[in-house]
Amino acid sequence: MPTATLPIVRQHGTGVVMAIVFRPARLPDDAALLIDLNSEYLEFVFAGVAARFGVALADIFPGGDIRAYVPGQLPKTLGPGPPESLFYILEDAGQPIGMGGLRRVRDGVAEMKRVYVRETARGRGLGRLLIDRLIADARRFGYGQMLLDTAPTLETAIALYLRLGFAPISAYPEVEVPAIMHPNWVFMAKTL
């Protein structure tokens, strides 16, 4: 697996040129950064969920401690690597600005995982760029379907998934989200 990918250079509406690098994440080398990014992502997601649904972090994460939960989930989230899985760290000028990946859930079916762009990098189309990249990777790996789950509070992300051809489905067996949240969660699928 390559240690870095070629940068994608884009002209942003403000005239700023971005050189975004999709760097494949590796364990244990990237463990500390991945713990930080995943914890930041989960805290962002579940702050909105807790406010809307009145659930406590302890209802979702053992002991209510996201940072304690994340390290044990990283190998599953990242998977074994191509051609089954791939997880990227997005970088701009060497700084981590986001992450996301895909992993095999069963024959012919991939799951999109942890698509996240840091607040300082939002509004530049990077979420769409990352999702397009993950869909292309899933096709290249031979997957025929891609699944995802997302919080109902992430309305901008849900709208983007719908525009890209994802459709709502019921919870799927391999989903990471605890059953207590299934009635309030969004599950989607796209034929590739």
What is the residue-level pLDDT of the chain in tens, covering all 192 positions? 443 454 555 545 555 556 899 999 999 999 999 999 999 999 999 889 888 888 888 878 778 889 999 999 999 999 999 999 999 999 999 999 999 999 999 999 999 999 999 999 999 999 999 999 999 999 999 999 999 999 999 999 999 999 999 999 999 999 988 888 899 999 999 999
- On whether the CB atoms of residues 50 and 57 are closer than 8 A, the answer is yes
Q: What top-level class would CATH report for the domain 8-191? A: alpha beta
Query: What amino acid is encoded at 104 in this protein?
Result: R
> Can you tell me the distance from the alpha carbon of 70 to that of 152, in angstroms, rounded to the nearest whole number?
21
Query: What amino acid is encoded at 138 in this protein?
Result: A
